[in-house]
């Protein structure tokens, strides 16, 4: 890096600072009013902004612009138009109008739309989201946009998030007034998403059809050494990884992403990048961008960055810890308990709103982390179980107990004793950490630890915001009549006491990975949806529809459509995986096995001729032959099952069939193949094995 970090940071972003420096004062002011207060932008201002943006982008080498959106495919989408406009005498000029900045009309027919497909025509609209920054990348100006159908239904992940942020802000502002915050005009949800990923050598990757087509290994015997020694977590960075991370940081910084923390994760070849938190909207956009950059930078190092939730069986998969809080425009973090939580009534009320919300809408939180990939992690002793619960820690637990039983809890400041004179002592944190909890309080925010590594975080944050908006609005309805009266404090305490009593069951501080917890959770009546097909249908439960309707997050048609898209995506994912398995088994693995059996048999014949015994060959050939037979049957079975699944016309029964029948046959087939792999010589196995892939970078 030749320039300093502050010099390169955000150099490709049309940032606040650039806008301020380049736009006329009144234009800048109008734009800020749009960004901060959601006022609609007039066309004259839009024209001005567009022109300035174009000039800046052209200086950065851009020749094109693209609306950048997040359809329900799970990836981002872009369609590039050049700034070129014909001028007289066959010349060209570079132009960009406010209209082109604000609105685009891509063909929407090839994007998933669920049931909306029948009712909507092909036309779709993209509309500029001025609350997220535009940026230049690879010769184009990127404009973050929402994506809607001709009939006005949302077809993307950003719109519900923006709607939920508005809902949360307006309810929270009203709620906060009761606690004397007269000056707060906007509350913004914040997110810091810790991103886990794997890096493997590209040459290995290229030889694995399963990784290329599905992002995960569908075959592969466990290596003799996994993660049991815990020697990878936070281990020193090997040179190739360190170079990759340095390169990645630089690229992220240029795009205005505050990449902050990097380290090795638990599994071999697994790593993490965590940025400094920002608003949910920007955080979600930046996470999408970060994932793309991670993949592209890897290629420069002849590496492949795997973002799948479970690329390798037998070692941990990857998630995305979604750190969430709320910030006011006067600088408060609403989840900061302060030094003495018991005296912080506002914080306690918000905390109780969260407790009630997570308990009542646990299914929505579970849904927000549901995908075929993430099903492999949840409940597999490496990520939280599929059961939603909350961890609050010792101190807050004690405070809640005190409220419930009507006494005063005094916070004790405790010093941490290291027992070495030369070392400074420091105050002990009031909460320990619980790595097994799906929704854990970590001192001044909640960490939702269930989200899958490849997921768009817009969905979990939209749902969380909506849930909190609902509870805050309900609390406000109850408490507002007493606001600014002498009985306010008592009424609040009365409410909190009830909430704690009724919703205590969602709080669990023990080991979320244990079997006892599954039983205990069942006794408590907490929902347990082990797989995507179990959870997704609850999206449209009436209680959920009600809050989406109430806050205008989803129309009924939009929600039904989304449910369909999620289930269809599930079925398609399993179908692709199953067909990839069949193909690899038929074209690579079974032929290699049969070949080797032949080699063994030939050896038996040769040895017989010269009077030698050939017990090892015979035993191995026999064993392999039995396995090959089972393998062959499995391939035939799987093919039949996939075909049967494809015959099913209804969406949910089809997804269930894929889950119950196809997936289990895939597991059986893998077990057979992995057993064969363990017997076969390396030189004869046609694809790179686990040791080669995860220990070679
Ligand atoms: P951990 O020890 O949990 O792995 P990291 O430092 O890796 O912690 O990540 C913590 C994440 O939480 C960072 O992205 C950080 O910016 C984010 N974070 C901190 N405060 C807030 C907040 N108020 N709202 C949202 N995210 C936050
Ligand atoms: Mg971390």
Asked if pLDDT for residue 516 goes beyond 60, the answer is: yes
625 lines ligand 1 (CB under 6 A): no
Instruction: Determine the 3-state secondary structure of 136 from DSSP.
Output: strand
Say yes or no to pLDDT of 415 above 80.
no
Strand partners, 104: 126
pLDDT band (50, 70, 90) for residue 412: confident
DSSP summary character for residue 588: I
In this prediction, residues 507-529 reach a mean pLDDT of 92
- At residue 430, the pLDDT reads 61
* pLDDT, tens only, 116-139: 755 546 778 999 999 999 999 999
Report whether residue 192 contacts ligand 1, using a CB cutoff of 6 Å: yes
- 382 has pLDDT over 80: no
Ligand nearest to the CA of 443: 1
Q: Rounded to an integer, what distance in angstroms lies between the CA atom of residue 25 and that of residue 13?
A: 20
Q: Which atom of ligand 1 is nearest to the CA of 323?
A: 26
- Mean pLDDT (whole number) for 480-488: 96
Which residues touch 446 (CB under 8 Å, ≥6 apart)? 323, 324, 325, 335, 354, 390, 439, 440
Q: How far is CA 167 from CA 41, 92, 227, 535, 553, in A?
A: 21, 46, 44, 25, 8
Nearest bound ligand to CA 276?
1
Index of the ligand 1 atom closest to the CA of residue 325? 24
Atom 7 (ligand 1): residue with closest C-alpha? 274
Average pLDDT of 645-674? 98
What is the distance in A from the centroid of ligand 1 to the CA of 245? 19
Cβ neighbors of 66 (< 8 A, separation 6 or more) are 78, 79, 80, 81, 140, 141, 142, 143
Torsion angle of alpha carbons 49, 55, 58, 63, nearest 10°?
60
Which atom of ligand 1 is nearest to 274's Cα?
14
pLDDT of residue 383: 73
Mean pLDDT (whole number) for 233-249 = 91
Residue 158 has pLDDT above 80, yes or no: yes
> 271 alpha carbon to ligand 2 midpoint, in Å?
10
Any ligand 1 atom below 6 A from CB of 280: no
pLDDT for res 384: 74
**Which element (helix H / strand E) includes 562?**
helix 556-584
Q: Is 444 in the pocket of ligand 1 (CB under 6 A)?
A: yes
**Two tokens, residue 18:** 């650039």
Helices (H), 255-410: 280-300, 345-360, 362-367, 394-404
pLDDT at position 366: 97
Q: Give the pLDDT score at 431.
A: 65
- Closest ligand by atom to 271 CA: 2
Does the CB atom of residue 263 touch ligand 1 within 6 A?
no
- Which segments of the chain belong to CATH 3.30.590.10? 164-216+231-554
Q: What percent of the chain has pLDDT over 90?
A: 82
**Residues β-bridged to residue 147:** 126
With a 6 Å cutoff on the Cβ, whether 276 touches ligand 1 is yes
- pLDDT higher than 70, residue 414: no
- Ligand 1 atom, smallest distance to 263 CA: 7
> Where in the chain do CATH 3.10.20.70 domains reside?
5-153
Ligand 1 atom with least separation from CA of 335: 23
**What residue owns the CA closest to ligand 1's atom 1?**
194
Position 293 pLDDT exceeds 60: yes
Q: Is the pLDDT of residue 201 over 60?
A: yes
The residue that leads in pLDDT, 242 or 383, is 242
Ligand 1 site, residue 104, Cβ cutoff 6 A: no
Specify the higher pLDDT residue, 513 or 505.
505
CA of 260 to the centre of ligand 1 (A): 10
Token reading at 589:
């693995």
Comma-separated ranges of CATH 1.20.120.1560 domains in the chain: 569-694
pLDDT of 192 above 80: yes
pLDDT of the residue at 419: 64
Query: What is the distance between the alpha carbons of residues 118 and 349, in angstroms, rounded to a whole number?
Result: 45
Distance 669 CA to ligand 2 centre (A): 36
pLDDT of residue 446: 97
Is 557:153 a contact under the CB 8 Å cutoff? yes
* 423 pLDDT higher than 90: no
Cβ–ligand 1 contact at 191 (below 6 Å): yes
261 lines ligand 1 (CB under 6 A): yes
What letter does residue 207 receive in the DSSP assignment?
A: T
Among candidate residues 620, 634, 548, 558, the one with its CA nearest the CA of residue 590: 634
Query: What gap in Å lies between CA 680 and CA 209, rounded to an integer?
Result: 20
Measured in degrees and rounded to the nearest 5, phi and psi for residue 278 equal -150, -170
Ligand 1 binding pocket includes 273 (Cβ within 6 Å):
no
Distance 258 CA to ligand 2 centre (A): 14
SS3 of residue 230 by DSSP: coil
Q: Which of 212-221, 363-372, 508-517 has the lowest mean pLDDT?
A: 508-517
What residues contact 653, with CB distance under 8 A and at least 6 apart?
none
Q: What are phi and psi of 544, to 5 degrees?
A: -75, -45
Is the CB of residue 509 less than 8 Å from the CB of residue 517?
A: no
Q: How wide is the angle at C-alpha 208 spanned by C-alphas 203 and 210, nearest 5°?
A: 145
pLDDT category, 413, cuts 50, 70, 90?
low
Pairing relation of β-strands 446-448 and 103-104?
unpaired
- Which pair of structure tokens corresponds to residue 274? 């965590």
pTM of the model: 0.95
264 CA → ligand 2 middle, Å: 10
pLDDT for 249 = 96
Pocket test for ligand 1, best of 286, 445, 451 (most atoms within 8 A of CB): 445
Q: Please, which pLDDT band fits residue 114 given cuts at 50, 70 and 90? A: confident
Measured in angstroms, how far is the CA atom of residue 473 from the centroid of ligand 2? 33
Centroid of chain to Cα 11: 27
Which CATH entry fits the domain spanning 569-694: 2.40.100.10, 3.30.460.20, 1.20.120.1560, 3.30.300.180? 1.20.120.1560
Q: What are phi and psi of 492, to 5 degrees?
A: -60, -50
With a 6 Å cutoff on the Cβ, whether 290 touches ligand 1 is no
Best CATH choice for the domain 164-216+231-554 from the list 3.40.50.1470, 3.30.590.10, 3.30.300.30, 1.10.1740.10: 3.30.590.10
Q: Which atom of ligand 1 is nearest to the CA of 191?
A: 25
Whether the CB of 677 sits within 6 Å of ligand 1: no
> Which residue CA neighbors atom 13 of ligand 1 most closely?
192
Query: Can you give the pLDDT at residue 679?
Result: 95
Q: What's the pLDDT score for residue 205?
A: 98
Contact yes or no for 173/186 (Cβ under 8 A): yes
Question: Is 190 near ligand 1, meaning CB less than 6 Å away?
Answer: yes
Spatial distance between the Cα atoms of 249 and 297, rounded to a whole number of angstroms: 10
- With contact defined as beta carbons under 8 Å apart, do 348 and 403 qualify? yes
Per-residue buried b or exposed e for 483-516, using 16+ beta carbons within 10 Å of the residue's own CB: eeeeebeeebbebbbebbeebeebbbbeebbeee
* 355 CA → ligand 1 middle, Å: 20
415 touches 428 (CB < 8 A): yes
Is the CB of 341 inside a 6 Å radius of any atom of ligand 1?
A: no
596 token code pair: 């080797």
With a CB cutoff of 8 Å and minimum separation 6, the contacts of 574 are: 372, 658, 659, 662, 663, 666
Q: 436 pLDDT band (50/70/90 cuts)?
A: confident
Query: DSSP characters for 385-420?
Result: -SB--EE--HHHHHHHHHHHTT-PPPPPP-EEP-S-
Pick left, alpha or beta for residue 325 (phi over 0 → left; psi -120 to 50 → alpha; otherwise beta).
beta
The more confidently predicted of residues 170 and 511 is 170
**Which residues 6+ apart lie within 8 Å of 622 measured at CB?**
none
- Collapsed DSSP state (helix, strand, coil) of residue 267: coil
- Token pair of 144, please? 């973050």
191 CA distance to ligand 2 middle (Å): 13
Q: What is the largest CA-CA distance in the chain?
A: 105
Count other Cβ atoms within 10 Å, centred on residue 331: 7
**Which tokens hold the place of 30?**
């109008």
Domain spanning 5-153: CATH 3.90.1150.10: no
Question: Counting ligands in written order, which one lies closest to the CA of residue 442?
Answer: 1
pLDDT digits (tens, 9 = 90+) for 299-316: 999 999 999 999 999 999
- For a ligand 1 pocket test, name from 191, 233, 274, 446 the mutation site with the most ligand atoms within 8 angstroms of its C-beta: 274
End-to-end CA distance of the chain: 23
Angle between helices 458-479 and 158-178 (to 10 degrees): 30
Q: Which atom of ligand 1 is nearest to the CA of 327?
A: 23
For the residues 65-85, what does the mean pLDDT come to?
A: 94
Distances (CA, A) of 548 to 183, 223, 472: 28, 47, 15
């Amino acid at each position: 890096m030749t320039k300093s970090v502050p010099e390169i940071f955000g150099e490709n972003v049309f940032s606040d600072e650039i806008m301020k420096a380049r736009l006329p004062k009144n234009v800048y002011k109008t734009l800020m009013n749009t960004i901060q207060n959601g006022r609609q932008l007039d066309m004259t201002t839009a024209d001005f902004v567009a022109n300035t943006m174009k000039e800046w982008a052209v200086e950065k080498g851009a020749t094109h612009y693209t609306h950048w959106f997040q359809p329900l495919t799970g990836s981002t989408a872009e369609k590039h138009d050049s700034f070129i406009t014909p001028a007289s005498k066959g010349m060209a000029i570079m132009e960009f109008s406010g209209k082109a900045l604000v609105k685009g009309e891509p063909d929407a027919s090839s994007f998933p739309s669920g049931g909306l497909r029948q009712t909507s025509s092909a036309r779709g609209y993209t509309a500029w989201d001025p609350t997220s920054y535009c940026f230049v990348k690879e010769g184009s100006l990127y404009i973050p946009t929402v994506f809607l159908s001709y009939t006005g239904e949302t077809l993307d992940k950003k719109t519900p998030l923006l709607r939920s942020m508005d809902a949360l802000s307006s309810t929270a502002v009203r709620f906060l007034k009761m606690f004397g915050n007269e000056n707060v005009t906007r509350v913004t949800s914040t997110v810091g998403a810790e991103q886990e990923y794997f890096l493997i050598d590209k040459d290995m990757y290229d030889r694995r059809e399963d990784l290329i087509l599905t992002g995960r290994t569908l075959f592969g015997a466990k290596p003799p050494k996994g993660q049991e020694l815990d020697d990878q977590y936070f281990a020193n960075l090997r040179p190739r990884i360190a170079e990759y991370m340095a390169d990645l940081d630089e690229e992220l910084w240029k795009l205005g992403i505050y990449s902050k923390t990097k380290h090795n994760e638990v599994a071999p070849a697994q790593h993490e990048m965590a940025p400094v938190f920002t608003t949910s909207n920007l955080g979600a956009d930046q996470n999408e961008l970060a994932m793309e950059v991670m993949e592209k930078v890897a290629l420069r190092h002849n590496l492949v960055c795997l973002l799948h939730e479970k690329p390798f069986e037998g070692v941990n998969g990857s998630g995305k810890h979604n750190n969430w809080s709320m910030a006011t425009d006067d600088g408060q973090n609403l989840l900061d308990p302060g030094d003495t939580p018991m005296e912080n009534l506002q914080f306690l009320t918000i905390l109780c709103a969260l407790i009630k919300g997570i308990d009542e809408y646990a299914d929505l939180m579970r849904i927000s982390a549901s995908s075929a990939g993430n099903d492999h992690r949840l409940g597999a002793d490496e990520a939280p179980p599929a059961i939603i619960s909350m961890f609050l820690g010792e101190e807050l637990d004690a405070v809640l107990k005190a409220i419930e039983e009507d006494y005063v809890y005094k916070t004790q400041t405790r010093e941490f004793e290291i027992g070495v004179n030369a070392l400074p002592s420091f105050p002990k944190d009031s909460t320990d950490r619980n790595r097994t909890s799906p929704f854990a309080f970590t001192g001044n925010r909640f960490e939702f630890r269930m989200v899958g590594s490849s997921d768009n975080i817009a969905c979990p944050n939209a749902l969380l915001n909506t849930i909190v908006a609902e509870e805050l609005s309900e609390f406000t309805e109850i408490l507002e009549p007493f606001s600014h009266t002498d009985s306010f404090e008592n009424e609040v305490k009365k409410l909190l006491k009830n909430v704690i009593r009724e919703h205590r069951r969602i709080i669990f501080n023990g080991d979320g990975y244990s079997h006892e917890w599954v039983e205990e959770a069942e006794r408590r009546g907490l929902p347990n949806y082990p797989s995507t097909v179990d959870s997704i249908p609850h999206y449209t439960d009436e209680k959920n529809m009600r809050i989406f309707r109430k806050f205008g997050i989803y129309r009924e048609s939009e929600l039904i459509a989304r449910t369909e898209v999620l289930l269809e995506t599930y079925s398609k994912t399993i179908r692709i995986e199953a067909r990839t398995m069949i193909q690899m088994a038929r074209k690579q693995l079974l032929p290699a096995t049969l070949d080797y059996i032949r080699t063994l048999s030939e050896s038996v014949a040769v040895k017989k001729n010269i009077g030698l015994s050939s017990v090892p060959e015979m035993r191995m050939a026999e064993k392999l032959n039995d396995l090959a037979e089972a393998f062959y049957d499995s391939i035939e079975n799987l093919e039949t099952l996939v075909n049967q699944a494809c015959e099913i016309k209804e969406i949910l029964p089809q997804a269930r069939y894929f889950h119950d029948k196809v997936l289990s046959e895939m597991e059986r087939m893998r077990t057979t193949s992995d057993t064969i792999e363990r017997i076969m010589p390396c030189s004869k196995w046609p694809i790179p094995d686990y040791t080669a892939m995860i220990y070679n970078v």
